[in-house]
């Protein structure tokens, strides 16, 4: 974030200020993530060696989750990586700059309103004088809210345009809170419909998702006469969950493995074992991408990083480019049912379902999704004369030996959980330590001082990009609960839908549309509280509902015109959206059939769950 070009000493203060701010943000983000990983490890060591852990350490880790959400969001705003639809890239050139200025100005205005609302929340908490672990006042933890929102608002204005004039126009959005304060009777203002339409249109044109949801929540509370500090107030719930800190820690472990070359080792392993089969490289690609998606926590990361490496390999092996493009685009999301997928943990938290049962229930449906995608691509590769790799026992043995640490990771983590000597957050911290040792000590592909800070900052940016959405989505969900939306919807559905079969079909359609229009994290926070009581009224098992939800979200990523993976693939590989649509269409049709099987054959989900429950009882 620097000023206009000029002599080195023309603007020394802004340059130094920008450097100091960036360095401070990076340092704090690194320190927070490192502390979140270290404290659970100290807790485990304390119980093992001295019979007791560190009092209050896990509570502090929970509260640091809020910090990494806001700090990471500020980092994402700094690098223009707040989650949003990438539609501006596909607009005519002459429209891009005005649209960017308009959406950035609106986003800055909404973020400024969140800034003032969180300032009020901090004031209330300071007057209350509550303390958390280690006698830290709760207001000190919450102070990251106004600081983070202020940083985000400033970056939104700065990145609105390259020149001063565009930034000044975008800065007018900062006056939005004052405009709304000038209206004496919000309920009678008639602003609900026009303001909602503006937010919807701006979201379609690239408004950051967190501002779309947060702006809607602020608007609804304001029109209802409720203090808007209720929106950041709900954000504080991020600190009360003993499970949510596992999300950034598992994401960090995935980044360490990915940056350390684990994907290369696994590609070699799967190629050695399956490359000899007809269309074997397609099977390898599907397996590698499905393996890494739950580790990184986002299909976009998988497509942008690993997909870019695997697509040229597929084409060089004489796989058709269109089929290969579709395979990489689709495979970026089909691993979301596997451990340690972040959406599964998040769904478990908001649906009040045991995450262990969700992972067990999702295993066979996840395998089904991987198999149907790999089979389609493999058959097309075989028919097209794609090259195969002869099976060599020595190469297979060498690849297994080289990839043994990655293969042992799930056993290590699940052993810690099942053995009962680590909680979920502690198991996530153990995963970070395991990945760190493997990549820095065993393989020596990462250097602690040279690579680790960069990876920590990258992870914080990713985590903040979606956890800021969770923070404001909690406020939106709270409003829906206050107005008894779940009860109203349940009553309407029960009046008009008699059959559970029809309800499930309608649910599939709804979730595919939601998946095409909304990222999976905000969909979980907003949609799950609405559909869970309805599904329960129809006697649908909560684990089965969870797998139906997540499988449909995977399918929604691929649904035109707004599916997230379609935009990411088009942007990453330089292909037109219609071309990406055509490449993914056969896979989407196959996955749709698989999702219907998952929906209407509950035993696919519940058979292993019942075995798991029976083993637990015994």
Using DSSP's 3-state secondary structure scheme, residue 260 falls into: coil
Q: What percent of the chain has pLDDT over 90?
A: 35
C-alpha–C-alpha distance, residues 150 and 156, integer Å: 10
> What are the tens digits of pLDDT across the range 71-105?
999 999 998 888 887 778 778 888 999 999 999 99
Higher per-residue confidence, 409 vs 89: 409
Residue 552 lies in a domain: no
Residue 474, pLDDT score:
83
pLDDT over 90 (residue 34): yes
Return the pLDDT at 8: 38
Q: Looking at residue 549, what is its pLDDT?
A: 94
* Helix (H) / strand (E) containing 436: helix 424-437
Q: Are 247 and 342 in contact (CB under 8 A)?
A: yes
Report the pLDDT value the prediction gives residue 473, as an integer from 0 to 100. Answer: 84
The stretch 418-435 carries a mean pLDDT of 89
Domain assignment present for residue 130? The answer is yes
Q: Is the peptide bond before 340 cis (omega within 30 degrees of 0)?
A: yes
Q: What is the pLDDT of residue 140?
A: 93
- More confident position, 392 or 182: 392
Please report whether residue 124 resides in a domain: yes
Q: Is the pLDDT of residue 7 over 60?
A: no
Q: Which residues pair with 552 in a beta bridge?
A: none
pLDDT of residue 301: 60
Contact 555, 591 (CB under 8 A): yes
Q: Which residue has the tokens 């990411």?
A: 568
User: In the chain, how long is the greatest CA-to-CA distance?
Assistant: 78
> Which DSSP string corresponds to 275-338?
TTSTTHHHHHHHHHHHHHHHHHS-HHHIIIIIIHHHHHHHHHTT--HHHHHHHHHHHTTTTTTS
DSSP structural state of residue 390: P
Residue 6 in this model has a pLDDT that exceeds 50: no
Q: Say how far apart CA 319 and CA 407 lie, in whole Å.
A: 28
Contact by Cβ (8 Å): 111, 153: yes
DSSP state of 561: T
The verdict on residue 428 lying in a domain is no
pLDDT at 306: 67
Give the residue-averaged pLDDT of 442-450.
92
Cβ-Cβ contacts under 8 Å for 435 (sequence gap 6 or more)? 253, 254, 256, 257, 260, 409
pLDDT digits (tens, 9 = 90+) for 548-606: 999 998 888 788 756 777 777 776 677 777 888 888 889 989 999 999 999 999 999 99
- First and final C-alpha spacing in the chain: 60
The count of structural domains within the chain is 1
Residue 240 dihedral angles phi and psi, to the nearest 5°: -100, -5
User: Residue 11's pLDDT is what?
Assistant: 39
The pLDDT, as a whole number, for residue 5 is: 37
Q: State the number of CA atoms in the 13 A half-sphere of 248 facing the CB.
A: 39
For residue 230, tell me if it sits in a domain.
yes
Query: Residue 302's pLDDT band (boundaries 50, 70, 90)?
Result: low
pLDDT reported for residue 328: 85
Q: Is the pLDDT of residue 68 over 90?
A: yes
Domain contains 249: no
Q: 411: Cβ–Cβ under 8 A, 6 or more apart, which residues?
A: none
The pLDDT tens digits for 165-206 are 999 999 999 988 887 777 766 766 678 888 889 999 998 898
- How deeply is 562 buried, as exposed, middle or buried, from its count of CB atoms within 10 A (0-12, 13-18, 19+)? middle
For residue 297, the model assigns a pLDDT of: 57
156: which 2 tokens?
A: 């939104």
Distance between CA atoms of 548 and 337, rounded to whole angstroms? 10
Whether 331 has a pLDDT exceeding 50, the answer reads yes
Parent domain of 78: 12-239
- pLDDT for the residue 467: 85
The average confidence (pLDDT) of the chain is 85
pLDDT at 145 over 60: yes
103 or 409: which leads in pLDDT = 103
Two tokens, residue 480: 């829906």
Lowest average pLDDT, out of 2-16, 237-251, 379-393, goes to 2-16
2 has a pLDDT exceeding 70: no
Q: Report DSSP letters for 127-175, one per residue.
A: HHT-B-GGG-BHHHHHTHHHHHHHHHHHHHHHTT-SSHHHHHHHHGGGG
Average pLDDT over residues 54-60: 87
Specify if 250 maps to a domain: no
49 domain-assigned: yes
């Amino acid at each position: 974030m620097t000023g206009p070009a000029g002599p080195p000493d023309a603007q020394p203060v802004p340059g130094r200020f920008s450097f100091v701010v960036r360095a401070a943000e990076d340092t704090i983000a690194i320190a927070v993530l490192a502390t979140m990983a270290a404290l659970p490890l100290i807790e485990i060591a304390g119980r093992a060696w001295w019979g007791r852990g560190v009092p209050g350490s896990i509570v502090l880790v929970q509260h640091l989750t809020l910090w990494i959400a806001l700090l990471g969001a500020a980092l994402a705003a700094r690098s223009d990586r707040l989650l949003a639809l990438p539609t501006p890239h596909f607009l005519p050139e002459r429209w891009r700059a005005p649209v960017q200025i308009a959406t950035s100005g609106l986003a800055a205005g909404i973020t400024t309103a969140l800034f003032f609302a969180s300032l009020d929340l901090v004031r209330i908490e300071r007057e209350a004088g509550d303390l958390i672990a280690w006698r830290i006042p709760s207001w000190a933890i919450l102070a990251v809210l106004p600081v983070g929102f202020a940083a985000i608002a400033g970056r939104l204005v700065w990145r609105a345009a390259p020149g001063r004039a565009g930034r000044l126009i975008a800065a007018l959005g900062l006056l939005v809170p004052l405009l709304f304060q000038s209206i004496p009777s919000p309920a009678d203002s008639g602003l609900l419909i026009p303001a909602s339409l503006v937010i919807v249109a701006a979201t379609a044109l690239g408004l950051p998702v967190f501002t779309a949801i947060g702006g809607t929540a602020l608007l609804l509370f304001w029109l209802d006469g409720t203090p808007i500090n209720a929106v950041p107030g709900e954000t504080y719930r991020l600190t009360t969950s003993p499970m949510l800190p596992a999300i950034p820690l598992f994401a960090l472990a995935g980044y360490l493995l990915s940056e350390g070359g684990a994907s290369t080792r696994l590609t070699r392993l799967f190629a050695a074992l399956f490359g000899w089969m007809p269309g074997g490289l397609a099977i390898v690609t599907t397996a590698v991408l499905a393996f890494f998606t739950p580790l990184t926590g986002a299909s976009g990361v998988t497509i942008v990083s690993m997909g870019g490496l695997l697509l040229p390999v597929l084409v060089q092996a004489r796989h058709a480019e269109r089929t290969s493009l579709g395979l990489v685009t689709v495979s970026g999301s089909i691993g979301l049912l596997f451990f340690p997928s972040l959406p599964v943990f998040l769904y478990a938290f908001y649906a009040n379902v045991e995450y262990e049962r969700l992972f067990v229930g999702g295993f066979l449906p996840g395998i089904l999704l991987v198999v149907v995608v790999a089979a389609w691509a493999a058959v097309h590769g075989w028919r097209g004369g794609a090259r195969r790799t002869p099976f060599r026992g020595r190469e297979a043995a060498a690849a297994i030996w080289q990839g043994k640490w990655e293969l042992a990771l799930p056993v290590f983590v699940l052993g810690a959980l099942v053995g009962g000597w680590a909680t979920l957050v502690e198991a996530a911290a153990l995963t970070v330590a395991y990945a760190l040792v493997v990549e820095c000590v065993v393989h020596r592909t990462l250097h602690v001082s040279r690579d680790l800070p960069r990876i920590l900052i990258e992870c914080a940016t990713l985590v903040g990009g979606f956890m800021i959405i969770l923070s404001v989505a909690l406020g939106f969900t709270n409003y829906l609960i206050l107005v008894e939306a779940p009860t109203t919807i349940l009553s309407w559905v029960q009046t008009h839908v008699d059959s559970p079969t029809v309800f499930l079909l309608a649910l599939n359609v709804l979730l595919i549309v939601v998946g095409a229009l909304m990222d999976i994290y905000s969909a979980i926070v907003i949609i799950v509280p609405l559909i869970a009581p309805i599904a329960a009224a129809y006697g649908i098992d909560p684990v089965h509902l969870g797998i139906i939800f997540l499988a449909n979200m995977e399918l929604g990523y691929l649904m035109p015109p707004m599916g997230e993976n379609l935009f990411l693939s088009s942007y990453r590989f330089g292909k037109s959206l219609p071309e990406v649509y055509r490449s993914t269409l056969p896979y989407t049709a196959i996955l749709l059939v698989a999702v219907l099987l998952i929906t209407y054959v509950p035993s696919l989900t519940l058979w292993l769950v019942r075995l798991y429950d029976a083993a637990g009882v015994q």
